[in-house]
Structures are given as structure tokens and as C-alpha cells.
Chains A and B, each alone.
Chain A
Amino acid sequence: METVAFNVEELRNDFPILSKKFNGKTLAYLDNAATSQKPRQVIKAICDFYEGYNANIHRGVYEIEEKATMKYERTREATSRFIGAESAEQIIFTRNTTESINLVAKTWGASNIRKGDKIVVSLLEHHSNVVPWQVLAKEKGALLEYINLKEDSTIDLDDFKEKIAGAKLLAITQASNVLGTLVPVKQMTSIAHQEGCTVLVDGAQSAPHMPVSMTDIGCDFFAFSSHKMLGPTGVGVLYGKREILDAMPPYNLGGDMISEVHKWDVTWNELPWKFEAGTSNIADVIAYYHAIEYLQRLGMERVREHEKSLTKYALKRLSEIKGLRYYGPDDIEMRGGIISFTLGDVHPHDIASILSREAIAIRSGYHCAQPLHEELSLGGTARASFYIYNTEEEVDRLAEALNEVRKVFAK
């Protein structure tokens, strides 16, 4: 695919929301770890579908139905290429990352995890990569163990090597949604596989921000969402190794996931449709293609470089603010574009509320990672997270507003 120049000022024009005014000010959207904004190419694709060829897929043989089916499956192929998967049949569309992980827990987990088995996660996990395993472990009488972090907020690989011995499943994030920590999932997958352990990687915070390759990482499952990478909400992706997906029982039961249904008997459809029961989120899957294309034209290496330089700048600006403490690795090579911080004893919700008046959008609270906050003895944090359209000027606005927050709450 032909690449385009990475010009932030120019690409911002593709995002209608970024030119809107809130409280008379331009939006500084710094909550990209929650969801990204959408370029007009994606928004237009949704309209084009409903206005031009809305039809259900995999069913009829009339013209617009065939067009819809073709476009839907085109996204699957693009997704497969985007994450360097072996084949498009290994890409399953779900609603979001959470559903992708639940699908694995409810099908692979239910038929493979037994009493006394060990499931290993890390302290960095989002609730969606903790709760399904916690519940499964309770149901099956399995053990759930957490890999510790080192002082510098990176994964303690010695602790990992100890805990992975004899484990049945490793479920681990590739990038922390709180600390920004990048996790060496390729190295960990290879070690886990030597133990005969299956590996699921949560790519929700990595796939949108850096090049990822399934054949390189070698993991058995990989889960991520469209909406964090310029695409619409309501589309999640689950990648799986073919032999594992083939052996897994189906997830939801009904239409589209079957090949033959008789009164008393049924045979399952082949991959990937075996896991896509009922009418899919057709419009959003079709529009998601344009998000992938947008990112690929920019180039994922350049996306990562942009975020690295912005994060470096932000860490410098934030460290100049009195009373501000940020968390996560100092080494820019070990972290993504996410910075969680506290400001003296000001509650994160108060920080976010005051910033909102300045049209600066950040997240506050536990960020769906309460075990991590408990481990760090934090009541909650404020979080700024970056993407392709963020600028140093927005970081300056953030720093300025945080200094104002400090003044409002000065005793």
C-alpha cells in the first residue's frame, strides 16, 4: 500500500470532532486509551453502506447483498494482513476486546481448564483480562496467579519464569492501559510454549499504536478492538491459531454459525463463521476497513515514532509541575503513549473536571485496573493518552491547566 506523509496538522483535518469548539475552545482529546476519534473516511463508509447497499450478508444472491458480503470479508482480509496473521479464516469479529477474551474463556477455557490447573495473568491486566479468568478459575477449581512488576514498572521476568512452570494458560497484555508498560510478549510466549502453556495476548492497547505480527509473536490468541484504532465501536477482533480454533466448541449458537441443521442434529460452519452467530455488525465492520487502511498508509512504525516523541515531551513537561507524580517506565522504549499521574492529594476526578472546562479530555479513576492500583496503593489516577493527531501544543495546554488545578486546590 502506498504510504502518505505523517503530517499531524494535515491529518487532523480528517477528524471532524477535532475542529469543534467546546466551552469556546478546541478539543484536546487525550483519552485515546479509552477510545480514539474517527476520521471522516470511516464515518462516510457507515453512511455509504446504509444509503447504498444495506443488506444482510452470507445469505442472498442479489447485487447489494453480494457487495455487502464482499466488503465485510474484505475487512477480515485487511485485519489479517494488519496483524500479520497466517490467514483471514483465523480472524473472528466480535463486539469488542472484552467479548474476544470472554469467547476464549467460555469455549477454549471451559473445555481445557480443569481442577488444579494454573492460569497466569499479570498485575498490569485490564479487568477484561482478569474477571473472565477469575470466574473460570473459581468454576473449575483452577488457580489464578499474578506476575509481579519490577520497581521500574516492567514485568518481573524472573517471577514470570517461576509462575509459568506447569501453567495451562498465560493471559497477558502487550501494553498496560495504566502504566503504558510494554510487555515482551514474544519472549514470554516462547517461554510459555516450552511449558506447553497456551498464550492469549490482550492487544487492545498495542495493536492501534505499533506494528504487531502474529507470526512473529507466536501467541495462540490475540484480542483487540476497532474503536481504539480509528474504527467504529462495536467491532472486536479475536485471532486464534487455526488448529486451536478448529478444535474449540462454538460460542453463540444460531444462524450463520451452522453448516447444516436438521431436526435433531447440527453441524458447525467452518472457520471463522463458526464463531459469528447471528447477523453481524455489518456496517461497522465494513467501515473498520477504512481505519486499517488509514493507519497502514501512515505506517505503524511512524505511528509509534510519533507517540514516542510526544510521550517523551509530555513526561518532560509534566515532571516540571510541582507535586505531580507520574507512573510507569521512564525508559521511552518500554512504554506506549499513556501517562497516568497524581497531583498532590487532588482527587483525579477533580483534576479531570477542571480540565474539562478547558476542553481537555483525560480519564480519571481506576481505568478498569483496580488490582494494579491496589498493588501500587493508589486511590486512583488521572491519565493522558495519545494518538496520531495529538500535538505538543495540546501537551502544553495540559501542563498549563494542571498548574491551574494546583492553584485551585492550594490550601
Chain B
Amino acid sequence: MSDEIYKEIILDHYKNPHNFHKLKDPDFKAEDTNPLCGDHVEFSVKLQDGRVSEVGFIGRGCAISQAAASILTDLVQGKTIEELQKMEKEDLLEAMGNPDLGPVRIKCAMLSFKTLKLGLYSYLSSKSSHT
């Protein structure tokens, strides 16, 4: 059976997710749910010297949403805040092996990307309002 969506890398991350835990005292965290299918992700991020020093996620849902979250945690590890801001959804899709996702399933993949970005921006805006 040909399953261009379910590439080895996606199944690997789904079955054995990386960084699957919640961080204690994170600098910021963010969670969101895709109401259509109930996919859920929650990220927690620690920063040191303007870089991601540690990142974790927990969640449940389909293979695409959970693999995307796991791959995203690997992708952002060690990145500067500026690099995080510049990161685009194509970067995540590329790291996932550019699976052939249709217009519906792409939302599953983008849930984690959107959630982490929103978390980052609310962290940055709360920081700038404090200084």
C-alpha cells in the first residue's frame, strides 16, 4: 500500500515521540486544540541567552499532529528567538519529509506550528510590555 502521508519519519515520531514531557518552570508555554478532530498539543519552552535551551510537548491526536509536534521540538532546539520568529511552515513540512497532505490534513500538521508561534508571540509581547 502506498501511503505518501505515512512516511517512515512520521510513523517513527508518532510511535516514539521526542521530548514528550512537560517542562518545569518554562519561560513560556502554549496549548491548542483542533476542534474538528480533537487533536491537542501543549508546548513548554525554556530559554537561555536568547536561545531555546529546552523544549517539551505533550498531546494526543492523529499521527500527523503528534509527529509534527515531535519533529517541531527537534527543529527548534537551540534556535534563537529571531530564528524562531523567522521559521515558516515550509520548514516544518520539509523536516517532516514533505508528506503529501491535503487541505484538511495539513491543519493537523500545522496545529503545533501555530501553537508554538502563538506562544512565542504572547511571550514576546508580555516581555515588551513589562520593560
**Residues of A in contact with B (beta carbons under 8 Å apart):** 346-350, 353-354, 357-358, 364-366, 379-380, 401, 404, 408-409, 411
Whether B1 and A380, one on each chain, are in contact in the complex, defined by CB atoms closer than 8 angstroms, is: no
What are 16 inter-chain pairs, A to B, with CB distance below 8 A?
A: A346-B63, A349-B62, A350-B62, A353-B6, A353-B64, A354-B1, A357-B1, A357-B2, A358-B1, A364-B37, A365-B36, A379-B38, A380-B38, A408-B1, A408-B11, A409-B15
Q: Give the Cβ gap from B15 to chain A, nearest Cβ, in Å.
A: 5
Within 8 A of A (CB), among B1-20: 1-6, 11, 15
B5 CB contacts on chain A under 8 angstroms: 353-354
Within 8 A of A (CB), among B66-98: none
> What's the Cα separation between A357 and B1 when bound, in Å?
8
Whether B6 and A354, one on each chain, are in contact in the complex, defined by CB atoms closer than 8 angstroms, is: yes
Q: Given A354-B6, A357-B1, A365-B38, 16 other A-B contacts at CB below 8 A?
A: A347-B37, A347-B62, A349-B62, A349-B108, A350-B63, A353-B5, A353-B64, A357-B2, A358-B1, A365-B36, A365-B37, A379-B38, A408-B1, A408-B3, A408-B6, A409-B63
- B105 touches A (CB below 8 Å): yes
Contact with A along B32-50 (1 / 0, CB 8 A): 0000111000000000000
From A346, A357, A364, A401, residue with most partner B Cβ within 10 Å: A357
B1 CB contacts on chain A under 8 angstroms: 354, 357-358, 401, 404, 408
Among residues of A, the one whose C-beta sits closest to the C-beta of B10 is A350
Known A353-B5, A364-B37, A404-B1; judge A409-B11 contact (CB<8 A).
yes
Whether B62 and A411, one on each chain, are in contact in the complex, defined by CB atoms closer than 8 angstroms, is: no
B11 CB contacts on chain A under 8 angstroms: 408-409
A411 CB contacts on chain B under 8 angstroms: 15
Residue among A347, A357, A408, A409 making CB contact with B61, cutoff 8 Å: A347
Q: Give the Cβ gap from B5 to chain A, nearest Cβ, in Å.
A: 6
Whether B2 and A349, one on each chain, are in contact in the complex, defined by CB atoms closer than 8 angstroms, is: no
> What's the Cα separation between A379 and B62 when bound, in Å?
10
Q: Give the Cβ gap from A52 to chain B, nearest Cβ, in Å.
A: 37
Q: Give the Cβ gap from A370 to chain B, nearest Cβ, in Å.
A: 9
Q: Give the Cβ gap from A367 to chain B, nearest Cβ, in Å.
A: 11
- B21 touches A (CB below 8 Å): no
Interface of chain B, helix or strand or loop or mixed?
Answer: loop
Whether A357 and B3, one on each chain, are in contact in the complex, defined by CB atoms closer than 8 angstroms, is: yes
- Which 10 pairs between the two chains have the least Cβ-Cβ distance? A347-B62, A349-B62, A350-B63, A350-B62, A404-B1, A365-B37, A379-B38, A349-B37, A411-B15, A353-B5
Whether A349 and B105, one on each chain, are in contact in the complex, defined by CB atoms closer than 8 angstroms, is: yes
From A353, A364, A404, residue with most partner B Cβ within 10 Å: A353
Whether B63 and A347, one on each chain, are in contact in the complex, defined by CB atoms closer than 8 angstroms, is: yes
A357 CB contacts on chain B under 8 angstroms: 1-4
From A348, A349, A364, A365, residue with most partner B Cβ within 10 Å: A349
Q: Give the Cβ gap from B18 to chain A, nearest Cβ, in Å.
A: 16
Among residues of A, the one whose C-beta sits closest to the C-beta of B1 is A404
Known A347-B61, A358-B1, A365-B36; judge A353-B15 contact (CB<8 A).
no
A353 CB contacts on chain B under 8 angstroms: 3, 5-6, 64, 105
Whether A366 and B38, one on each chain, are in contact in the complex, defined by CB atoms closer than 8 angstroms, is: yes
> What's the Cα separation between A364 and B108 when bound, in Å?
14
Q: Give the Cβ gap from B116 to chain A, nearest Cβ, in Å.
A: 21
Whether A380 and B6, one on each chain, are in contact in the complex, defined by CB atoms closer than 8 angstroms, is: no
Among residues of A, the one whose C-beta sits closest to the C-beta of B2 is A357
> What's the Cα separation between A268 and B6 when bound, in Å?
59
Contact with A along B100-127 (1 / 0, CB 8 A): 0000010010000000000000000000
A354 CB contacts on chain B under 8 angstroms: 1, 3, 5-6
A346 CB contacts on chain B under 8 angstroms: 63
Among residues of B, the one whose C-beta sits closest to the C-beta of A408 is B6
A364 CB contacts on chain B under 8 angstroms: 37
Q: Give the Cβ gap from B36 to chain A, nearest Cβ, in Å.
A: 6
Among residues of B, the one whose C-beta sits closest to the C-beta of A401 is B1
> What's the Cα separation between A354 and B10 when bound, in Å?
14
Q: Give the Cβ gap from B64 to chain A, nearest Cβ, in Å.
A: 7
> What's the Cα separation between A364 and B6 when bound, in Å?
17
> What's the Cα separation between A354 and B15 when bound, in Å?
17
B4 CB contacts on chain A under 8 angstroms: 357
From A348, A365, A379, A404, residue with most partner B Cβ within 10 Å: A379
A358 CB contacts on chain B under 8 angstroms: 1
